[in-house]
Structure 1
Amino acid sequence: MMSYVRSNRNHGYSESLEHISALRDGYFGWSSVGANTRMEKLFELTALYSKSINDHKFSVLGGYSYNETDYEDMYFANYGFQDDYFGGWHNIGIGSALKLGKADASSSKSTTNLVGFFGRATYSYLDKYLLMASLRYEGASQLWGTDNEWGIFPSVSLGWRITQEAFMKEQRLFDDLKLRVGYGVTGSQPANPFLGIAMLKYDKYAYVDGKWVQTIVPASNANPDLKWEEKRETNIGLDFTMLKGRLSGTIDLYNRDVEGLIYNYTVPTPPNFYPTTTANGGKMQNRGIEVLLNIVPVIAKDFEWNTTFTFSTNSNKLKSLDGSVFKTDYDYFDTGWLAEPVKTSSHRVQVGEKIGNFWGFKVVDVDNNGKWIYEDKDGKLVPYDEFSRAPEEKKIIGNGLPQMYAGWNNYVQYKNFDLSISMRGAFNFDIINEARMYYENSKNSRLENRLKSVNNKIFGKTMLSKEVDPEFNSYYVEKGDYWKIDNVTLGYTLKNVGKYIKSIRLYGSILNALTITGYDGVDPEVSASGLNPGYDSRDQYPSIRSFTFGVGFKF
């Protein structure tokens, strides 16, 4: 198998001379222009051998894969335009800032590749006892220069088809029932290249031999022991089919331990040239359950209904930040960033706690003057004017990772009509509503940059006082639970249209049809990845609702 995918993107942005950035900050007509190209090449070669000997069946598969990704981009920004007619991102060079060295110009190119050799063997006896084992040997360019460019990742799975046993022959409940147990290791290479070698970078200017020269300083320390992150997962599953195929599904329980998490450890200088070293060390645990059900509730001559349910849970815990060599000074670190006027980190990652915890001040009420009443680190209530707002007064005020996901897909066919509806939701998580934090700021004097909710009564009592400084607290953390009707498609098929056309299908669909949520922001489906999930940026663009009408022909 071979594939080649190339995508190109050109983008530009302009602000007029009347924009707030020009009036307030002097960025007259700030504009930017850029372009990027991404290419992905994939080659995969496999060979399969299978054979049956009496009651024994086995197969052996071997293969090779090569994946390369090339990314190139360029970017220019400028301001200092004389008017709105001749400037902008279509004529970005006439601005004065770039010529004076006050604006940005950059370009970059990166190439990564992943090479893998893999094998898999399967064996079954009487189609009752099943075995599968696999092995991957992979090398990643991101680990070039270390002693661990290549990693070995094995897995093994055992299956028992219970319905094939003699004691199940008389039962009529299950058509098929299979128990599975598996263990496997997978690897994740670093996202950024060259983290394990010593690198240099440009820094400040120095006056040398009568001219200013940009200095070159260390950018990283070498660490030849840097290696792949490893996910070690144990899985127990049950597959079943009932009622002559009308009901089928799977249930899986898993425990996933991630070892060797990549982290930047603080190190002394000297003997090191750079104050941090990238190394493996952290450990994290994930546990959960996944359920899939396929049901055919109705099947008749002119009517059929198929439905699928999915449900999953996940809980995680950071077990350690330390490695065998490198240690941390603290058992936590703060991450995420909230923009002006707050300007603070939003999340805390701490040993023994869940990933995704929000870290801020907890407010429980307001006084008659519209000032916050806080709950301090000891659980005591403290008025606004007496609260120190020191970093040590912060606490966990929410979590941005959903604990449960669910989905429900339906397909209905009645005579020549067909209808499909897909739905999904996420539950038990919180969202930081940065738009409210910023646009409900009582000290924001520009009325056009405020939400109507700035006049809402806090906790149903009174408006927020103009004496209250903007800050990140629990009042701006909301429940993010949602249920979305993702897609609705209705079609009608005309059959036996003519000699050359077998059928014509007319259809219409709605994408992003409906969202049911109590969240006050634009869209509760915010990022749930990384170390700072659940953050709804104030600049998030709304999700669009699209309508499609089409005609399909079958010849």
Structure 2
Amino acid sequence: MALPVLLVLFHVAAFAQTQVTGRVTDPNGAGLAGVTVTVKGQNVATSTNENGQYTLTVPANATTLVFSSVGFTSREEVLNGRSSINLNLAAAAGNLNEVVVVAYGTRRRGDLTSSVTQVTAKDFQKGFQPSAEQLLVGKVAGLQVTTGGGAAGTGSRIRIRGGSSLNGSNDPLVVIDGVPVLEGGVAGSQNILNTINPNDIESISVLKDASATALYGSRASNGVLIITTKKGTRGKVKFTFNTQASVQSLTKYAPVLSGDQVRDVIRRDMEATGDSTYFKKLGTANTNWQKEIYREAFGTDNTLGASGTIANVLPFRLSGGFTHQEGVLKNNSFERISTALNLSPKLLNDHLSVNLNAKFSNTKNNFSDQGAIGNAVFFDPTQPVLSGDAKFTRMGGYWEWTQPSDAAWAPIVGAFSPRALAPLNPVSLINTIDNKSTVNRFIGNLQLDYKLHFLPDLHLLANVGGDWSRGSGNNNRDSMSAAGLLGGGSRSNYKQGQNNFLTDFQLFYQKEFKSIRTKFDVMVGHTFQEFSTDVYNFPSFSYRPIADPRTPGSEIYNLRDTIANSKPRAEDVRYTDLYRLESYIGRVNFNINDKYLIQGVMRRDASSKLNPDGRVGYFPAVSVAWKLKQEFFKNVNFISDLKLRASWGETGNQANLNYYSYIKRYTQGNQSAMYQFGGQFVQVLRPEGYVEDLRWETTQTTNLGLDFGFLNNRIAGSVDVYKRKGFDMLASVPIAPGANFTNEATKNVAAMDMEGFEVALNTVPVRTKDFNWDLNVNFSYNKRKITQLLDYNDPNFTGLPRGGIGIATGNFVSQWIVGSNPSEFYVLKQVYDQNGKPLEGVYEDLNRDGQVNLDDRYYHKQADPKLNVGFSTSVSYKKFTVGMAAHGSLGNYVFNQYDAGAGILSQFKNPTQITSNGSPSYLETGFRNNSNFQFLSDYFIQNASFLRIDNINLGYDLGRVFRSKVGMRINASIQNVAVITNYKGLDPEIADDFGRAGTIYPRPRVYTLGVNLDF
């Protein structure tokens, strides 16, 4: 009896099961979803959820667990009786099986034939990133992401391979979960991408060459960004909570003089000239106006997410987020409430895949008055913020420049009133202007993939959805201010809606012929997209005091009628702009013997923006790849990957065109353009310029690429060389007098050549059980040259002036001409003395005609960088991680518009008989007066090459806490750490496409502390 009992006990012990739980993270400590956890040598496995958590029931005789995931190296862990195993997986640089999101589908990275870079959540920029595009800074060769300044919620300028248009848009097409979104943004939103919670984003694919972008043909000349958000996962419902708190502070201000320095400048001039007029106007203060309008700012970002499977059949992910960001400019703020839902069930025995996405966001902006930024630079630092004089009560008590004479009271201006041409007190502007907006946005779509029961190789694909935005706001001005006295107190409201409706239908067929070792797939489809903009007209009202403000208590405002009439009248409710795109698309792929890859693409687009005779465009592309590894080095272990790619294709552009540019049309004038009929004033209808034969702007691209990997892809990367040719390009050119209703129109007249190369290198110098080091670098070169500007011969044509400078009306810092780069500067050559000091008003007579004038300008430097560089590195040791990211550019120049206009004595001794502040460059040059020639001196074209350390981050994984129920990770980061540059202005990176840089909203340094929880 004892023997059978022992045998039974032995049998039970041998097959007893235990549970092992844990969390798998990437090198940066973020949870990894979809990691396969397998009992080595047995058919027992599970996968991690969205947060990287897993639970696996293992037999008692199990000895080892194997952890594996696409894009990461596998790792084995010996059990040794452990019931909890937490670990991180090292990134496998250049993993060929990684799934990459491309146009209308996905591809294995090893099967790509075109130039595509995918950045996933583990590689995003760390820290406080309230807008999606900021996740990509410095991460992709050929991609420039430049923030517009430090404003809360601000947008960025995005350029892929430098852009391909002159007058059209150079922004890439953005596709969010299969929905191409409208360029620009709705009223009240300064950035369409800040309506998406970055914590909901799984990956962003950057499509660069024509073969990658051709399926989006009509809007793809400037590349494509495909944003894919996180999806539901199978398994038990799990929760994550991520929270960050940040503090922002300025480390650098626009260069100005102190109050004492201004007094010294004015005193010295008085001693030299004997003119004491300006000296008498000086105050006794030392006000730093920039410090008066800026502050240390707080930010917080919070996301709560849940994912798992409902009733074992419905994978889902649901998240909610709240972001609050204060700008360093007082009163400036951005706030976002967001929610996202994904449902991804498979039905009909997995023949029908459903993917439902719904994202809603509510954003609120307080823009403050950014005019205060420039006024803080120029306002007299010898004056106080508040006057203390009772007569300034009408201006809120703020010190202001006032009219020199005390004329009799008039209801419109008043006896004691501000000067119309003088800068206004910047603190007053911030505190007496109310400029706010609210934007609601919903992006949703339903994607269906039905694999036919009787023919499973054939799929029916459908995608129906849209993007709907509503923006509204106000811009109100208090009459108890200098601005209110000058222009009247005002109440102004606005509202706009944008609607984007999409329907996509495709047939997808794939087949493998094993006998000839060939796989192929073909996709054909139809897509329709309708964009409409609803603009609501609200009447605006100005109001003024109706009694003498010098009498205390008599400030009576005509507010009752203002408030009563601030709602839109029925006849002013809205008008709608509408345009449509209809397309037919086709794609075929061949994979022959896993060595030779061929892809062909065709898209036919029709746009209602263009004339019916020219609105259809055809955009073909073809690409091939040769897997040299499989062909020649199959048994060479040192080589992990070697693939040669080549592609050619055409893409189009019709962005920035007016919806009805080709139609003879009349538009209604505004309230300042009215005609009197008897005692009644009516708004006029006026003819607009038009171009009947508008057609597609087209870009043709040839790309040659090499993908490589060595030492099990511990050294991997790619090299791309490309040439692009733009033709039928849109450019605003002069029109013969009397030939149209305008003297300049946008026509398909220009052409431009572009070329460049890109290199991306990803390495893993060290990889051990406890220590991993990743090091990545990329750089790119791009060159542009205009080859045609007119559609007729004009021997007297000298070019198209571009890049008007705001400090001198009618002057331009650039001029487009055939053979030039569109970002080149067109300036006069400065002459210097023997000590290297510029001589005021002295320039070289380059054409040697005996006189110096604008004909002596020459092409000098360019705003386009010669080279862009990105760099990132990450080191992990056990539970610690530390990382750094940086980016920069070489060979780019900036027109320092601020120095050009404010670095002269007449800036401090303003001709309007006031004193002002200005640029310290005056102390170096001694320039006294401004002139159109001086504004165009090449002295102000300054080298803006730079290296910016974007981020230093540190993280620590505490493992399971709170009785092992919660996984916790803490992280800290510093953003905008330092900038290395010789540029004399505030920020070498913030300039427009013409390289102009004036007074800007400075970017702060950001300190962030965050906690990630999963439970």
Q: TM-score range with shorter-chain normalisation?
A: 0.7 to 0.9
The one-letter amino acid paired with 1:238 is: L
Paired residues of 1:265 and 1:326 also in contact (CA < 8 A): no
Deviation at residue 152 of structure 1 after TM alignment: 1.5
Match of 2:858 in 1: 395
User: Shift of the alpha carbon at 1:139?
Assistant: 2.8
Change (3 A) 1:502 1:181: same
- SS state of the match for residue 804, structure 2? coil
- Could you tell me whether the CA contact under 8 Å between 1:52 and 1:58 is conserved in 2? yes
Match of 1:497 in 2: 961
CA shift at 1:484, angstroms?
A: 1.0
Q: Is the deviation greater in 231-240 or in 208-217?
A: 208-217
2:652 to 187, 190, 206: 187
8 Å CA contact 2:832, 2:839 repeated in 1: no
Pick which of 390-399 and 202-211 moved more.
202-211
User: What's the secondary structure of 1:496's corresponding residue?
Assistant: strand
Structure-2 change in CA distance of 1:544 and 1:39 (3 Å) = farther
CA distance in 2 between counterparts of 1:186 and 1:160 reads: 24
What secondary structure, in the 3-state scheme, does the structure 2 residue paired with 1:24 have? coil
User: Which of 842, 847, 869 is the matching residue for 1:378?
Assistant: 847
Match of 2:688?
219
Distance 1:536 1:75 in 2: 34
Amino acid at match of 2:950: D
- Supply the distance in 2 between the matched residues of 1:173 and 1:49 (Cα, whole angstroms): 37
Task: Say if 1:399 and 1:509 are closer, same or farther in 2 by CA, change over 3 A.
Answer: same
Give the SS at the match of 2:685.
strand
- In the alignment, which residue of structure 2 is the partner of 1:453? 920
SS of 1:392's partner is helix
Cα deviation for residue 159 of structure 1 reads 0.9
- The alpha carbon displacement at 1:537 in A equals 2.4
Of 293, 300, 306, 2:761 maps to 293
Aligned counterpart, 2:450:
none
Provide the residue aligned with 1:534 in structure 2: 995
Partner of 2:876: 413
1:56 aligns with 2:515: no
Q: Residues 19-58 of structure 1: matches in 2 within 5 Å?
A: 19=400, 23-25=418-420, 28=485, 30=487, 33-37=492-496, 39=498, 41=500, 43=502, 44-54=504-514, 55-58=517-520
- Cα offset, 1:435, TM superposition: 1.5
| AA in 2 matched with 1:481 | S
Aligned partner of 2:782 in structure 1 is 314
Matched with 1:141 is 608
Query: Cα deviation per residue 1:440-464 (whole Å; 9 max; x = unaligned)?
Result: 1210215863235144223xxxx22
Deviation string, structure 1 residues 147-188 (Cα, Å, up to 9, x no partner): 2223221110011111212x4345444222111111011111
Query: Where does 1:172-183 land on structure 2 (aligned, <5 Å)?
Result: 172-183=637-648
Per-residue Cα deviation, 1:255-289 (whole angstroms, up to 9, x for no partner) = 00011111244444556555445421211000000
- State the secondary structure of the residue aligned to 2:1012: strand
Give the corresponding residue for 1:102: none
Aligned partner (choices 947, 952, 974) of residue 483 of structure 1: 947
Equivalent in the alignment of 1:250:
718
- The letter of the residue matching 2:997 is D
* Pairwise CA distance, 1:408: 0.5
Question: Does structure 2 conserve the Cα–Cα contact (< 8 Å) formed by 1:41 and 1:67?
Answer: yes
Shift of 1:4: 6.5
The separation in 2 between residues aligned to 1:4 and 1:336, in whole angstroms, is: 39
Give 1:69-468 correspondences, 5 Å limit.
Answer: 69-71=531-533, 72=535, 81-82=544-545, 110-143=577-610, 145-165=611-631, 167-191=632-656, 192-202=658-668, 214-223=683-692, 225-268=693-736, 270=738, 272=740, 274-323=742-791, 330=797, 332-341=799-808, 344-365=811-832, 371-378=840-847, 388=852, 390-444=853-907, 445=909, 449-451=916-918, 453-458=920-925, 463-466=926-929
Contact 1:321–1:328 (8 Å) recurs in 2? no
Matched residues in 2 for 1:541 and 1:284: separation? 33
Computing the radius of gyration over CA atoms, which structure comes out larger, 1 or 2?
2
Output the CA distance in 1 between the equivalents of 2:644 and 2:935: 53
Specify the alignment match of 1:101 in structure 2: none
Render the CA deviation track for 1:482-532: whole Å, top value 9, x for unaligned: 111112221110113255635200011222222111112121112454xxx
**Cα deviations by residue, 1:374-430 (Å, 9 ceiling, x for unpaired):** 1122379x9xxxx64x32122223311112101001121111111222211111011
Asked if structure 2 preserves the Cα contact closer than 8 Å seen for 1:135 and 1:155, the reply is yes
Q: Offset of 1:56 from its aligned partner? A: 0.6
Query: How far apart in 2 are the matches of 1:488 and 1:252?
Result: 29
* Residues 94, 272 of structure 1: alpha-carbon distance in 2 compared, 3 angstrom cutoff: closer
Q: 1:358 to 1:233 in 2, by over 3 A?
A: same
In structure 1, the residue corresponding to 2:612 is in which secondary structure?
A: coil
Are the counterparts in 2 of residues 313 and 403 from structure 1 also a CA contact under 8 Å?
A: yes
Superposed displacement of residue 140, structure 1: 2.7
Q: For 1:46 and 1:12, how far apart are their aligned partners in 2?
A: 48
Identity %: 24
SS of the counterpart of 2:609?
Answer: helix
In the other structure, the counterpart of 2:120 is none
Gaps of 5+ in 1: 99-104
**2:307 aligned residue:** none
How far off its partner does 1:19 sit?
4.8
Structure 1 residues 73 and 294: CA distance shift in structure 2, 3 A: farther
Give, as a single letter, the amino acid of the residue that structure 2 aligns with 1:358.
F
**2:1008 paired residue number:** 548
Higher strand share: 1
Distance across 1 between alignment mates of 2:894 and 2:560? 38
Relative to structure 1, the CA distance from residue 433 to residue 452 in structure 2 (aligned partners, 3 Å threshold; closer, same or farther) is closer
- Paired with 2:722 and 2:939, the residues of 1 have a C-alpha distance of 36
Over 3 Å counting, the alpha-carbon distance change for 1:132 and 1:344 in structure 2 is same
Preserved CA contact (<8 Å) 1:6 1:37: no
Residue 471 of structure 1 pairs with residue 471 of structure 2: no
* Alignment coverage as a number of residue pairs: 528
**Matches of 1:40 and 1:504 in 2, distance apart?**
41
Distance in 1 (alpha carbons) for counterparts of 2:771 and 2:573: 61
Relative distance call for 1:304 and 1:112 in structure 2 (3 A) is: farther
Cα separation, partners in 2 of 1:526 and 1:307, compared to 1, 3 Å? same
TM-score by length of 2: 0.47
Distance 1:374 1:331, change over 3 A: closer
Unaligned runs of 5+ in 2: 1-177, 180-357, 373-393, 403-416, 422-482, 567-571
Q: Is the 8 A contact 2:518 2:592 kept in 1?
A: yes
Shift of 1:239: 0.7
Match of 2:973 among 493, 498, 509: 509
Contact 2:807/2:897 (<8 A) preserved: no
Secondary structure of the 2:920 match is: helix
Letter in 2 for 1:59: D
Whole-Å separation in 1 of the counterparts to 2:814 and 2:561: 40
CA distance in 2, matches of 1:513, 1:75: 45
SS in 1 for 2:712: helix
CA distance in 2: counterparts of 1:393 and 1:484, whole angstroms: 37
Which structure would you say has the larger RCO, counting Cα contacts within 8 Å and 6 or more residues apart? 2
Q: Distance in 2 between matches of 1:474 and 1:293?
A: 38
**Is contact 1:116–1:137 with CA below 8 Å preserved after alignment?**
yes
User: How far apart, in 2, do the equivalents of 1:518 and 1:77 lie?
Assistant: 47
Helix, strand or coil for the counterpart of 1:402? coil
Residue 190 of structure 1 contacts residue 262 of structure 1 at CA under 8 Å; is this kept in 2? no
Q: Is the 1:509–1:548 Cα contact (8 Å) retained in structure 2? A: yes
* CA distance in structure 1 between the aligned counterparts of 2:1013 and 2:728, rounded to whole angstroms: 54
Q: What is the alpha-carbon distance in structure 2 between the residues aligned to residue 319 and residue 76 of structure 1?
A: 47
Instruction: State how far apart, in whole Å, the 1-side matches of 2:721 and 2:838 are.
Output: 52
